[in-house]
Each structure stands twice: as C-alpha cells, then as structure tokens.
Amino acid sequence: MNYTKSDALHKEALEHIVGGVNSPSRSYKAVGGGSPVAMEKGEGAYLYDVDGNRYIDYLAAYGPIITGHAHPHITEAIKQAAETGVLYGTPTAHEVKFAKMIKEAIPSLDKVRFVNSGTEAVMTTIRVARAYTGRDKILKFAGCYHGHSDLVLVAAGSGPSQLGMPDSAGVPQSIAKEVITVPFNDIEAFQIAMDTWGNEIAAVLAEPIVGNFGIVEPLPGFFDHVKEIAHQKGALLIFDEVITAFRFTYGSAQNIIGVTPDLTALGKIIGGGLPIGAYGGRKDIMEKVAPLGPAYQAGTMAGNPASMLSGIACLEVLQQPGVYERLDKLGAKLEAGILAAATKYNTPITVNRLKGALTIYFTNEKVVNYEQAEATDGELFAKFFKKMLHQGVNLAPSKYEAWFLTTAHTEEDIEETIIAVENAFKELA
C-alpha cells in the first residue's frame, strides 16, 4: 500500500496542529510511531484514505459509528438539520423526542440533560453528585477512562487502594487527592477503600462493562456489591456508559448486568457520529441541576438540532429487529476465526468479546483488570496493528482499545479480516 499523501499531510499537520492530531489517541505513538493514515471517505464498513487505499474499519471512530459510515437514514437526518438551521439557542421538539427515546431505553433515567461530549457528561455527573451529597471525593477504578476533565485524569498509587496522583501535567495535586482509585473487579480493595474514605465519597464512578482497557466484563455480582457498599456509606453510584450504551443491546450495560446506578453518563453512539453527550438519573438528584437547583451546567451547543436528529435516526436504525443478534453472530465468527488462527500459528492471545465488540490481548493470561491488560505484549500488538493496516484493516492504534463491529459489516468482511489476521499471525510467528 502507498501512503504518500498521508505522509505528506501528517508532515504539514505537524506544522499547524499540535502533534499533528486533534486527539492524542489518533497518533501512532503507542504503536512505534509513523504517520497516522488520513481518511477522506467512509461508506458502510469501509474507510478510504487520501491515497485511495480501502480499509475494513473496526475503529468505528472509537465507538460512535455503530451503523457504519454514512448510513443513509442518518445522512438524511443530518441533511434535514442543515436545511432547517443548525442552531437556535432555544428549546426544540427534537430534544424532547430524543430525551423520551433515551429514557424509554434506559429506565433509570428519570430526567436527562444533553451536552456535547462524553467528557462533559461525566464531569457533570460528578458535580451533581457532589452537590447532592455535599461531599468532595470520588472513587474510580484503575484503567477506566472517563474523559479528560481534571478529576478523572488521576491514576492510582501503587497499593490496592490509594489516593490519586495526577495523570496529566496541569491537574493540581489538590484535585488529585480527592480521587481514590482501586483495581476493577477487586471487591476487597473496594471494601477497604470504602471503609477508609467512604464517609467522604460523593460517588463511585465506573464503566459497568469496561471499554477502555479492552472489553472487560465485571465478575458476577461485582457491581451488586459495589452499589450496596456505596449506598451504605451514603455515596452515589455513577455509571459511565459513554462506550457501553446501545453497544450491546438497545439500552445500556446497566440493563445487562441488572444493577441500576443513581446517575448515568452517555455519549458516542447516541449522536450517530455527531458531537454529543448526555447525563441523567434519579429525579431528586437531577433536580439539583440549574435552573431547578444550585449545580450549574450549561452549553451553547447542547441539544443542537443536528446532533438530536442524527441521534434519533441512529437509535431508529438500532431499533430494527435482529440488529444486536447479528452483531453478536458476526462477533462470534470473528472471534472464532482469530482464535483458530492463533492456534494454527501458536500466537499467545486472549480474546475478550461481548456481542459486537472485542479485544485481542497478546497474552495467554485471562484479563479482568487493568494491571493484566497493561502486562500484555505491546510490542507484538504494535507489529500486529501495522500488519493489519497494510492489509486494509483499520484498528485502533493501541493495545487497550476494542474492535467495534457495525451493522454494515458482512460475513464476507469478517472472512477477509480473518485471512488478514492469519497472515499477520503467520508473519509474527
């Protein structure tokens, strides 16, 4: 494959855009460097780069594109929005319709509020939880990403449950000390942390099914215990469903694991590819938000008609019968092909999959927490990533991300992908 134009564009981008990218995860830093491929067209399951190369896409823009690129129903909705004015700064019927749709799918949401990104959604749930409880601290799980606001860019210390340290320059130590981080799926560490700090904790923040160190499901009963202990201590439970909502079912991960949080943050899929975030939850908590209550949150672009119409159209596609069964079937076929190729070439991998989302970890060990994901072979992943790219399969350039299937992928796409995986494993053997 020829990448002349991508290379040239990256050189030019480096002159004008910091690091040449508008989000650090798009750089190839984690896979040994090089110019990230620049795309210019998306159609169904495929992306086409500026040099004319075609890729079967499993990045799905880090999750939002679950119906494939340029889905006609969503494209039509965005066109309608463009033709009727994209922003009014007033209430609209679209936002009411969309709020009702989301509430129907996720029954724990008595009230919702639309924002513009997952980062904003999570950031605001924390503010609302603090306003409701009158407490400052939050507890999160190691390796879970919740956007780039100060409070959640905090890493664990070295023990099983520790006060945080800033994970980014510019996050004050005074903020980091309000955050406690414990390992995912470790109920003992959670109990110790809650025994120590529980009475100061406003909320426990979690991805109910992890998407940010690969796809990792909670162990049976984990969140039942987490919720029970959190509530005993007077802390709220916030689920960050920015990746998980509408990913595995028409609804959210809380519907799957059977644990209802007090507040939920949403994003990605619910915008059908346009910028969006949303948060919501229990009525008595949400009524702390302005203009009803003292917790302030606002947005010029919030609930904009284009994102609302695109989101409504996306959910309409996902309401069609059989959508999630098909994603599961294709996911199972892909997983089986990957595992067979690994057996054939003796490649040490573990696959974590739920429905149409999976992660290949280069390890023979099970992965149920961040420490285990971190210990997997990043160099082997980097080589694998490039070999897949050069065969026309677009993955996220990080060993911690998931492959996302879309409603546009076909059996043939999966078969072509499995052949590419076999070739890659053969060359890596």
Catalytic residue list: 145, 240, 268
Q: Which is nearer to ligand PMP, 35 or 124 (CB)?
A: 124
- Which uninterrupted H or E stretch holds 386? helix 378-390
Length of the chain: 429
State in angstroms the smallest separation of the CB of 333 from ligand PMP.
26
* Shortest Cβ 5–ligand PMP spacing (Å): 27
E strand segments, 310-354: 350-354
Comparing CB distances to ligand PMP, the nearer of 61 and 70 is 61
How many CB atoms are located within 10 Å of the residue 343 CB?
A: 11
- Cβ neighbours around 302 below 10 Å, total: 18
Q: Which is nearer to ligand PMP, 6 or 125 (CB)?
A: 125
Mutual angle of helices 93-105 and 305-318, in 10-degree steps = 40
Nearer to ligand PMP, 10 or 146 (CB): 146
Residue span binding ligand PMP (CB under 6 A) among the ranges 103-111, 112-120, 159-167, 356-364: 112-120
User: Closest approach of Cβ 31 to ligand PMP, in Å?
Assistant: 18
Q: In what order do the strands lie in the sheet with 39-43?
A: 39-43, 46-49, 54-57, 393-394
The 8-class DSSP code of residue 183 comes to -
Q: What three-state secondary structure class fits 239?
A: strand
Minimum gap (Å) between residue 208 Cβ and ligand PMP: 10
Q: Which of 42, 68, 118, 280 binds ligand PMP (CB under 6 A)?
A: 118
In whole angstroms, the minimum distance from the beta carbon of 299 to ligand PMP comes to 13
The separation between the first and the last C-alpha atoms of the chain, rounded to the nearest angstrom, is 23
Q: Which is nearer to ligand PMP, 190 or 404 (CB)?
A: 404
Give the C-alpha separation, 133 to 139, whole Å: 14
Q: For ligand PMP, give the closer residue by CB, 217 or 240.
A: 240
Residue 291 CA to residue 394 CA, distance in Å, equals: 44
CA 401 – CA 383 distance, rounded (Å): 15
Task: Candidates 11-19, 26-34, 145-153, 369-377: pick the segment binding ligand PMP (CB under 6 A).
Answer: 145-153
How many CA within 13 A on the CB side of residue 429? 14
Closer Cβ to ligand PMP, 207 or 422, answer by number:
207
Q: What x-and-dash track marks residues 207-226 binding ligand PMP by CB under 6 A?
A: x---xx--------------
Cβ proximity to ligand PMP: between 119 and 181 the closer is 119
| Cα–Cα distance, 237 to 193 (Å, whole number) | 15
Instruction: Label residue 249 left, alpha or beta by phi (over 0 means left) and psi (-120 to 50 means alpha).
Output: beta
With contacts defined by CB under 6 A, name the span among 238-246, 278-286, 325-333, 392-400 that binds ligand PMP: 238-246
**Binding string, residues 165-204; x marks residues near ligand PMP by CB under 6 A:** ----------------------------------------
Q: Is 377 helix (H, G, I), strand (E, B) or coil?
A: coil
If one asks whether residue 261 binds ligand PMP (CB under 6 A), the answer comes out as no
Crossing angle between the packed helical segments 323-344 and 411-428, to the nearest 10 degrees: 20
Give least dist CB 65 to ligand PMP, A.
13
Does 146 bind ligand PMP (CB under 6 A)? Our answer is yes
Out of 20, 68, 147, 214, name the contact with ligand PMP by CB under 6 A.
147
- The single residue among 57, 186, 240, 422 that binds ligand PMP, judged by CB under 6 A, is 240
- If one asks whether residue 245 binds ligand PMP (CB under 6 A), the answer comes out as no
Among 28, 62, 190, 384, binds ligand PMP (CB under 6 A): 62
Rg of the Cα atoms in the chain? 21
Question: Measured from the CB of residue 268, what is the shortest distance to ligand PMP in angstroms?
Answer: 6
Q: Can you read off the two tokens belonging to residue 403?
A: 């492959």
Strand 236-240 relative to strand 201-206, pairing: parallel
Q: Specify the stretch interacting with ligand PMP by CB under 6 A; choose among 144-152, 159-167, 178-186, 416-424.
A: 144-152
Strand stretches in 268-402, DSSP E: 277-281, 350-354, 357-361, 393-394
What is the rounded CA–CA span in Å between residue 40 and residue 55?
Answer: 12
Q: Judged by CB under 6 A, which of 119, 133, 254, 304 binds ligand PMP?
A: 119
Question: Which parts of this chain interact with ligand PMP (CB under 6 A)?
Answer: 62, 117-119, 122, 145-147, 207, 211-212, 240, 242-243, 267
